[in-house]
Each structure stands twice: as C-alpha cells, then as structure tokens.
Amino acid sequence: MTAAIVSLDHVNKWYGPHHVLQDVSLEIGKGEVVVICGPSGSGKSTLIRTINALEPIRDGKLLLNGVDVHGKGTDLNKLRQSVGFVFQQFNLFPHMSVLDNVTFAPIRIQKRPRAEAEALARELLAKVGLAEKADSFPGFLSGGQQQRVAIARALALQPPVILFDEPTSALDPEMVGEVLQVMKSLARDGMTMVCVTHEMGFAREVGDRIVFMDQGRIVVDTTPELFFDAPDHPRIKRFLSDVKGEH
C-alpha cells in the first residue's frame, strides 16, 4: 500500500457519557475510495468530522498527510485547506453567487489572484456540469445542483483528499444520480475519497474498501466483493436488507 494520507490510531471520542468513537483505527492510502456505512447514529459523521477537526477527540492519534490533526501546535486553518469536505446539507453561502462560492477559499483564504481563481472555478464548474450557472445564486438551484457546486467549492483548494458526509441523503431521489455521477468521475480521476453514504451501488462500483460501523466501532473493513457477496456479520446482513428496503 502507498503511504497513508489519513491515518487514525485508536481514536476515542465521548459526548458526555456517550462513547461515540471507540478505539477507531483506519488507514487510507493515496487514491483510495473508502465508503463508510452503518446504521444511523453509529458514529459515521463524527468519524469523518474528526478528520478535519470539526470535532475534537479525547485520545488516540489522527494524522492527515503526516500532520497530527489534533496536536497542540497544529495550524488548523492551514491543515483544513488540504482536505475538502462536502456536507449533507450542502451549506453553500446563500449570499454569494455560485462563482463566488467556489472562489471564496482560493481568494479570501489562500490569497490567490482573482483571475486565476475564477479560471479554476469555471473549470471546476464545467467539470460538475454547471458552467452556465456561475453567475446564478444558490437559491435558484435545485438540491442536486447545489451539492455539485459544493463539490466544486471543496475542490477549489485542490486538496489531496476529500470527505463526503452523506452527500445525497438530503436530495430528492431523481437528483441523487447526478451527484453520484460527479463523485464517480472524481474517483476515476484518482482522487482520494472518504464517503459516508448509503448508496450501495456507488460503493460496489467505485469503492476500493467498505468500512462498516456500528455503535462507535469499526466492525468490518473489507473489499466491496466480500462485503456484498459474503457478508459474514449478522449486523451487516440486517443493514443491507434495510438499505435495500429503502429503495
């Protein structure tokens, strides 16, 4: 395996008395697409939010590109520029045009020249199929379009890894496909991706590994083939039949 971009080593986290992450260890290599799934409340969101330090951890070690994310002297603002994050609720800035949403980080945070940032932004918007919406405002876009803009925004810093927290769960069914399409093309381009998602078709098609979580623990970490074709854990069987029932 190539050098790990993300590495969690016995990470623990509590919410009050609630032990939400229990001894979680995970290595993600360059170019890997890792799908995290599991029942609701099992700690998936919490897990990927610790990777860019949106959530603090109690103990354990978490390295991102070799940098200790939760270390004392770590410059979080700098670190977060090297990891994209896509939210379930898109969280586009409604007071900025689509183009300004995508150029926000390059111009305001990285202080890159506007012309250069805009050129890159237009390129990214073309890539997610929204070139013609650059001057529109998020309020005019459908959920699927907003999520694609959010992906472009996360890509604008050209991070080596990008995290997705249920990017299609807030979407109407007919819009799920367009977002998955964009994610698949990213995966084929060799992007390192950590995706919390219930889209099992996506997992089977582009996932390199499936991580199944339950009650704050990683229960299984395996390949899609083994996960889907020979689930050897009763919780996974139940989960898979639940997910199938949804569709």
Partner 1 sequence: MLEIIQDYWLTFLIGQYPNGPLGGLAMTLIVAVLSILMSFPIAIGLAVARSSTWRWLRLASACVVNFVRGIPLLMLIFWCYFVIPIMTGYAVSGFWTLVCALTIYEASYLSEVIRAGIASIPKGQTEAARSLGGSYMLTVRSVVLPQALFNVLPGITSQFISTIKETSLGYVIAVNELTFAANQINNQLLTQPLQVFTILAVIYFLLCFLLSRGLSAIETSIRRKRGLL
Ligand X SMILES: Nc1ncnc2c1ncn2[C@@H]1O[C@H](COP(=O)(O)OP(=O)(O)O)[C@@H](O)[C@H]1O
Residues that bind ligand X in the complex, under the rule CB under 6 A: 15, 18, 20, 40-46
Residue 43 interacts with, from partner 1, Mg ion, ligand X, none (CB under 5-8 Å by kind): ligand X
Cα 26 from Cα 24, distance rounded (Å): 7
Reading the block at residue 228, the tokens are: 């889907």
Reading the block at residue 41, the tokens are: 């409340």
Of 7, 42, 45, 146, the one binding Mg ion (CB under 5 A) is 45
Q: Please work out the total of residues on this chain that contact Mg ion, with binding judged by CB under 5 A.
A: 1
Phi-psi region of 60 (alpha: psi -120 to 50; beta: other; left: phi over 0): left
Three-state secondary structure call for residue 234: helix
Q: In what order do the strands lie in the sheet with 59-64?
A: 18-29, 4-15, 59-64, 67-68
**What is the closest distance, in whole angstroms, from the C-beta atom of residue 19 to partner 1 in the complex?**
23
Q: Which is nearer to ligand X, 15 or 140 (CB)?
A: 15
Residue 54 interacts with, from Mg ion, ligand X, partner 1, none (CB under 5-8 Å by kind): partner 1
Cα 128 from Cα 12, distance rounded (Å): 36
Asked if residue 16 lies in contact with residue 69, where contact means CB atoms within 8 angstroms, the answer is no
Torsional sign, CA 122, 127, 132, 134 = negative
Under the binding rule (CB under 8 A), the answer on residue 138 touching partner 1 is yes
Binding mask of the shown chain, residues 45 to 84, with x at each position contacting partner 1 by CB under 8 A: -------x-x---------------------xxxxxx--x
Binding mask of the shown chain, residues 89 to 128, with x at each position contacting partner 1 by CB under 8 A: x-xxxxx--------xx--xxx------------------
Residue 167 interacts with, from partner 1, Mg ion, ligand X, none (CB under 5-8 Å by kind): none
Q: Residue 99 has what DSSP assignment?
A: H
Binding site for partner 1 (CB under 8 A): 52, 54, 76-81, 84-85, 87, 89, 91-95, 104-105, 108-110, 136-141, 153-154, 157
